[in-house]
Amino acid sequence: MSAMRTEDAADGKSTANGGGVVCQEGGVTVLRPTDLSEMLAAGTKEVHEKAENTEFVKDFLRGRIRKELFKLGHVALYFTYSAMEEEMERNKEHPDLAALYFPHELHRWDALARDLQYFYGEDWQDQISLSPATQRYVERIQQIGRDQPALLVAHAYTRYMGDLSGGQVLRKVAQRAMKLPPTGEGLNFYQFDGIHSAKAFKQLYRSRMNELELDSHTKQKIVEEAVLAFQFNMEIFGELEEVGKSLQGDVLDAAPVHGAHGAHGEMQGDISQCPYYAAKMAASGGSSYICQMAMSMLKNPSGQVILAAWIAALAGLAAWYLM
């Protein structure tokens, strides 16, 4: 089905094309703030920024990855996606979910199972268990699947749209840091074989969300649920950070993304040096900032390598912030 829909109107045209339903009046495109995709983007902006500024995510983006934490993160994702996709499957004919049912294109359960088998071996199912934070997340998904299926839209939006955007950057960082095979073993979660263009699919998905026949109250409940989904993810990040404190000598560096270290050798954090921050600056028109950063990095060989990786990642990240 096409993501494009046009309707004649007395004072102009209304077009659904990716970013949501938009009004075209006098050649000027105006986004409607009542579109669900726009409400979600605005309503989750603050909590989204908090999530990406957790130490776990910032370390990941710097290329400082603990393999054991990466594995445990995949375990959390496995249980989360298993619950979400089970509820989506059970409610696939629900009028508020049927248009967003894309099992071939989106479902991650099987990919995560293959990744866990790679990391843990054939008996991987006997070696994993639900952490307390993941259990709370799973229980919430199961509860709304039973009682308020429309709210599953919030969890699907939060997870899948992120996986198709920034998740592709994380895949490259993880592969480089952990020296995983270029054939993709251990990183199947990030590979969407059923989607040929992530950008086009995200446009279709947002268009489908905006066409759902939802009243304003339900839309607001979905936004609130999306905020809750981000909070559940932050709880899992915090849990992983605590586990990381007990691990010794397990840090794998993808590249010296930041050259500065503290007096005792620890990596100093500066969000202004993070690729996520650079993407936001680019999305908001901060071109001079990006140019200054690029010129500085080009002065040394390692910076040239990093800059090349950032350029490849920047478009996807900027698109995520603009959606």
Q: Residue 250's pLDDT is what? A: 60
Largest CA distance in the chain: 68
pLDDT value at 298 more than 60? no
pLDDT value at 201 more than 90? yes
Q: Residue 249's pLDDT is what? A: 61
0.85 cut: is pTM over it? no
Q: What is the mean pLDDT of residues 38-44?
A: 95
Q: Is residue 177 part of a domain?
A: yes
pLDDT value at 286 more than 50? no
Identify whether residues 316 and 233 lie together within a single domain: no
Q: Residue 251's pLDDT is what? A: 64
Residues in a beta bridge with 230: none
Q: What is the mean pLDDT of residues 75-93?
A: 98
Identify whether residues 317 and 227 lie together within a single domain: no
Structure confidence at residue 207 as a pLDDT band (50, 70, 90) = very high
Identify whether residues 182 and 295 lie together within a single domain: no
Q: Is residue 106 part of a domain?
A: yes
Identify whether residues 230 and 306 lie together within a single domain: no
CB 241 within 8 A of CB 66: no
- Distance from CA of residue 285 to its chain's centroid? 22
Q: Is residue 259 part of a domain?
A: no
Q: Residue 63's pLDDT is what? A: 86
Domain final residue pick, 194, 216, 247: 247
Average pLDDT over the chain, rounded to whole? 77
Structural domain for 311, as ranges: 290-322
Identify whether residues 43 and 121 lie together within a single domain: yes
Range scoring the smallest mean pLDDT among 189-193, 232-236, 269-273: 269-273
pLDDT value at 132 more than 50? yes
Identify whether residues 108 and 208 lie together within a single domain: yes
Identify whether residues 303 and 230 lie together within a single domain: no
Q: What is the mean pLDDT of residues 300-310?
A: 48
Q: Is residue 2 part of a domain?
A: no
Residues 6+ apart with CB under 8 A from 281: 289, 290
Q: Residue 267's pLDDT is what? A: 29
Identify whether residues 42 and 168 lie together within a single domain: yes
Identify whether residues 298 and 178 lie together within a single domain: no
- How many domains are contained in the chain? 2
CATH of the domain at 192: 1.20.910.10
State what percent of residues in the chain have pLDDT above 70: 67
